Amino acid sequence: MRMEHDLREALASRSFELHYQPQVDARSRTIVGVEALVRWRNSARETIMPGEFIEIAEQSGLILPLGECVIDEACRQLRIWRDQGYTALRMAVNLSALQLRSANLLDFVAATLLKHEIGGEHLELEITESMVMDNPGACIAKLRALRDMGIHLAIDDFGTGYSSLSNLRLMPIHSLKIDRSFVRNIESDSDDLVICTATIALAHNLGLKVVAEGVETSAQRDLLAGHGCDVLQGYLFSKPVDAAAMDALLAVSY
C-alpha cells in the first residue's frame, strides 16, 4: 500500500500540520473557538486534504499515532494563544472511531493537557453518532471519563449518522454540530429549515449548545442566529487557515 507507506513516512518526518477554522458566537460575532483540521504536506510540497487520507489512516491503524500528533499540536498551539491572552478560546479536535475505542485515549489526553498546562474545559472533542452506536455502553463510559476531566464533547455531522434519541439523552455531551448539508439550502428548502430549527430546539431542551456548520452566507447566519443557534462556523467567517492567519483573525474578532 503506497499511501500507507507514505503516511508512515509523513508521521516520522512530521509532515502533518493543522489548520484552524473559527467558531463564532452567533450573538456577539466574536471568535469563541477554533476547530483543528489536519493537512498533509507531502514531499512535493502539495497540501493533501484529510478526505484523501483519513480513511486509509483509520484502516491501517496509523490514525492512532496521527491522532496523538493532532491532539498534541492542537494543545501546543492553544497554549500559545492562551499566553497571548485569548483565554476563553476553546480548541475543537476531531476524534476517529479507532481513537475513541483505544485503551490509551484517556491517559494520552490527560498527559497532553498536563504537558501544555491546559485545563480540560478548553479542549473539545468531536465525535460522530455512528462512533457511539458501535458500542454505546463502552463509549458512554469513556465519554463520561472525558467529561469528568472537564473536556467538552460535541456530536459532529449531527443528523447524518444514525443514533437513537435515548442514546443521545445518555451521552455526556455539551453540544451538537448541525451538519452543513442541512445548512446549505436553509433559505430555500423549508424541510432543511425545519430540520435546523428542530435540532436547535432538541439540543436546547436537552441542555446542549448548538453549532451550525457550513455557514456561507449572511442570510444563513441571520436565519440561524434568529432561531437561537449558539455558534456558527463556515466560509462566511473563514475557511480553515494556518496558525499565522488564525492569529490575524483573532486579533480582529476575538
Which residues here bind ligand G, judged by CB under 6 A? 21, 37-38, 49-51, 54, 67, 70, 94, 96, 156-157, 180, 213-216, 234-235, 240
In this structure, the strands spanning 16-25 and 123-128 are: unpaired
Q: What's the closest the beta carbon of residue 116 comes to Na ion, in angstroms?
A: 26
Note whether 126 binds Mn ion by CB under 5 A. Answer: yes
Residue 216 CB partners (closer than 8 Å, separation 6+): 183, 184, 234, 235, 236
Note whether 129 binds Na ion by CB under 5 A. Answer: no
Note whether 126 binds Na ion by CB under 5 A. Answer: no
Binding span for Mn ion by CB under 5 A among 7-15, 39-47, 123-131, 168-176: 123-131
Give, in order, the Cα–Cα distances in Å from 8 to each of 38, 45, 62: 15, 17, 7
Give the separation between CA 5 and CA 99, rounded to whole angstroms: 20
Give the separation between CA 241 and CA 249, rounded to whole angstroms: 10
Q: Which residue in 157, 168, 175, 212 binds Na ion (CB under 5 A)?
A: 157
Q: What's the closest the beta carbon of residue 126 comes to Mn ion, in angstroms?
A: 4
In this structure, the strands spanning 152-158 and 175-178 are: parallel
The distance of Cα 62 from the centroid of its chain, to the nearest Å, equals: 19
Which of Na ion, Mn ion, ligand G, none does 38 bind, CB closer than 5 to 8 A by kind?
ligand G
Binding span for Na ion by CB under 5 A among 17-25, 195-203, 207-215, 216-224: 207-215
Q: Given phi > 0 = left and psi -120 to 50 = alpha, else beta, which region is 77?
A: alpha
Q: Which residue in 68, 124, 129, 156 binds Mn ion (CB under 5 A)?
A: 156
Which residues of this protein are in contact with Mn ion, per CB under 5 A? 94, 126, 156
